[in-house]
Amino acid sequence: MENFLLGGDLPIHRLGYGTMRLVGEGAWGEPRSRDEAHKVLHRALELGVNFLDTADAYGPNIAEELIAEALYPYAKNLIIATKGGITRQGPAKAAPCGRPEYLHQCVEMSLRRLKLERIDLYQLHRIDPKVPAEESLGKLADLQKQGKIRHIGLSEVTVEQIEHARTIVPIVSVQNKYNLTERKHEAVLDYCTQNNIAFIPWYPVAAGSLAKPGGALDSFAHERNLTLSQISLAWLLQHSLVMVPIPGTSSVAHLEENVSAQNINLSEDDMDILELIADTQSS
């Protein structure tokens, strides 16, 4: 599996695993089966995945607990990224909270749940418009100096926000919603590519009408004996060298399907056709 050097010092495989789907619907509540969730996490590592993305808001707290239950003590090459800075009010209901004292608590509690002394990648889940970035990111910078955070990342940001953040603290990753059919953050991806910042697309598998049986994307995948997920992930991996998709699933079979996308080599014609299909969809 191809590597990306996160922050210049952490080699991660470019196809990671996102843990949001391990918990209940809308990132709220317990999984259907903790045992099955543990199996998915174990299988991810067996398949060569060494980058797990999670957040204290998944459950809340439950996804981090599942990782520690299943995988602690951790393999030496395993990189766990987590996020903080939003509060949960229910299924699919959240609000940003970037107050420094809250973020300090978020980091301390994630360290405890994950059984870590230092978080390799800590991502600000959202920039809080009510709190100056200097205060939110300044607190994370302080915790970084204390050795509790190794690297810092952002989520759902613009190029301008990244540039501002980088005047406060080094930024090694950006996690924005992005997939074949939703590419409004292309300028952010270009910025990350130019600056060797990991771009971690959440919701990486294309959806909507293209995914329907008989749809253009479905037909493209069927002709090549591949699944929609595999095509979507392969396109992402080839679209930019800083791309680090983190497809999530609560199924071992679906996990295996996703991870196999790393072995798919789309031709230049395939890439052009896929983008044409997606552009037709969005027009």
CB atoms within 10 A of CB 227: 18
33 Cβ neighbours under 8 A, 6+ residues apart:
none
- Distances 176 to 134, 182, 184, 247, 255 between C-alpha atoms, Å: 21, 11, 10, 13, 21
Q: pTM of the full predicted structure?
A: 0.96
Please answer whether residues 137 and 163 qualify as being in contact, where contact means their C-beta atoms are separated by less than 8 angstroms.
no
pLDDT for the residue numbered 208: 59
Active site residues: 58
Residue pLDDT, tens place only, 81-122: 999 999 999 999 999 999 999 999 999 999 999 999 999 999
Q: Is the pLDDT of residue 144 over 80?
A: yes
Please give the average per-residue pLDDT across 125-138, as a whole number: 98
Is 5 in a helix, a strand, or coil? strand
Residue 209 — pLDDT band, cuts 50, 70, 90? low
pLDDT for the residue numbered 219: 87
Domain boundaries, the chain: 3-203+241-247
Please answer whether residues 123 and 154 qualify as being in contact, where contact means their C-beta atoms are separated by less than 8 angstroms.
yes
pLDDT for the residue numbered 248: 96
Q: Is the pLDDT of residue 127 over 90?
A: yes
Please give the average per-residue pLDDT across 202-227, as a whole number: 81
Alpha helix segments (H runs only) across 115-227: 133-145, 159-166, 186-195, 216-223
| CATH entry 3.20.20.100 includes domain 3-203+241-247 | yes
Please answer whether residues 164 and 133 qualify as being in contact, where contact means their C-beta atoms are separated by less than 8 angstroms.
yes
Least confident of 14-18, 189-193, 220-224: 220-224
Least confident of 119-133, 198-212, 239-253: 198-212
Quote the percentage of the chain above a pLDDT of 70: 96
